Structure 1
């Protein structure tokens, strides 16, 4: 059983349980890029069938955390710089759409909720748990896109969630920053959102996603 920030506790199937453990290991760099993942040893470790392991690996592949190479095997991977940029741009566009038009009515409550999400992120950082940071990051940015009050946009944004773990792990590795810096970047974003000028907040959001040198 696992706790989801927006859904409470939920029971996991065997493939979901194996997926969650492997995902956490990959995100926390216990399984670094290039590590092979072999079905039989994994099935023996978890006490499940190879079919169960295969289902878990398919989900990891969808999330771009692993790569399946024909005749070579399955390996932990990292998103390319181009894929990271595209995913970040898509999230920025979706989160920024509609936000300015509800800025006056939504800003104060949004900042409070974003601050709570960063507190959760900091707790995960204290435990050196990148998987936990990814969950908190997803909640943080969900608050922003939901504030725009366009349910269809939120639905489109949610389709990108599966890639966020791979995106964050790849970004941390490529930029050479640690988890504490990732948390600090969200804190700085909150500072911009406290301003009454929506243009300031949207510029900060763009830099947050699209300028890797922005701290």
Structure 2
């Protein structure tokens, strides 16, 4: 139950600020209200929903300050993951990373934004897994689940020229990791996350926080 609701929020299926009815969810999922209520309490602890007594529950809107803080941490964690993957050499995750990159390039040629976003997910997942650091992965997942991250990816990629620049940034990261240059891998990954976060910050007020 918790995983189902978390996925709906993180993917953007449930919009930020959207009210959530325990009764409606229970009916849709064919369960009692008790597991729904417990799932919502867990998601409140994770910062994904807000429960207001006698008012109800809604998907929480992160503030601009929170988004900046979360992307700052994301930059550090993913930079470290890229560095550690580069040091591990020819591991299975490296080949997953290369396949994701190929899928991204193919999606761009076909004008398939959905395919690109899916490949982007695989790209970043391969880097996190490839770090070989379970604690890093745990804290990254805890962090990323505080954001409707996939929606944010769509928002940034819809900006002029961002898609082409994103492809090139990813390509350079792959080449640095293949060359086992841990320092450059970390630098390029951090720059990529910083640019994505910066672009998101530019549009966040109008497209998200002013709804």
TM-score normalised to the size of structure 1? 0.63
Offset at 1:210?
A: 2.1
In structure 1, what is the Cα distance between the partners aligned to 2:84 and 2:16? 42
Aligned CA-pair RMSD: 4.2
**Secondary structure at 1:55 match in 2:** helix
Q: 1:113 to 1:34 in 2, by over 3 A?
A: same
Structure 2: give runs of 5+ residues left out of the alignment: 201-211
Partner of 1:171: 152
Task: Please identify which structure carries the higher helix content.
Answer: 2
CA contact (8 A) 2:96 2:123 kept: no
CA contact (8 A) 2:93 2:126 kept: no
After superposition, residues 1-215 of structure 1 pair within 5 angstroms as: 15-16=1-2, 19-20=3-4, 22-97=5-80, 100=83, 103=86, 106=89, 111-118=94-101, 128=114, 136=122, 139-146=125-132, 151=133, 154-165=134-145, 166-169=147-150, 171-172=152-153, 176-178=156-158, 185=166, 188-195=169-176, 196=179, 197-211=181-195, 212-213=197-198
Q: 1:163 to 1:74 in 2, by over 3 A?
A: farther
Q: 1:134 to 1:67 in 2, by over 3 A?
A: farther
Q: 1:189 to 1:177 in 2, by over 3 A?
A: closer
Farther-moved stretch of structure 1 (44-53 vs 88-97):
88-97
In structure 2, what is the Cα distance between the partners aligned to 1:58 and 1:81? 24
Deviation digits for residues 152-195 of structure 1 (CA, Å, limit 9, x no counterpart): xx31441330442425156347x55349x679736632423313
Q: 1:72 to 1:85 in 2, by over 3 A?
A: same
Does 1 or 2 have the higher relative contact order (CA < 8 Å, sep 6+)? 2
CA contact (8 A) 2:20 2:57 kept: yes
Structure 1: give runs of 5+ residues left out of the alignment: 1-14
In structure 2, what is the Cα distance between the partners aligned to 1:207 and 1:128? 24
**Secondary structure at 1:159 match in 2:** helix
CA contact (8 A) 2:94 2:130 kept: no
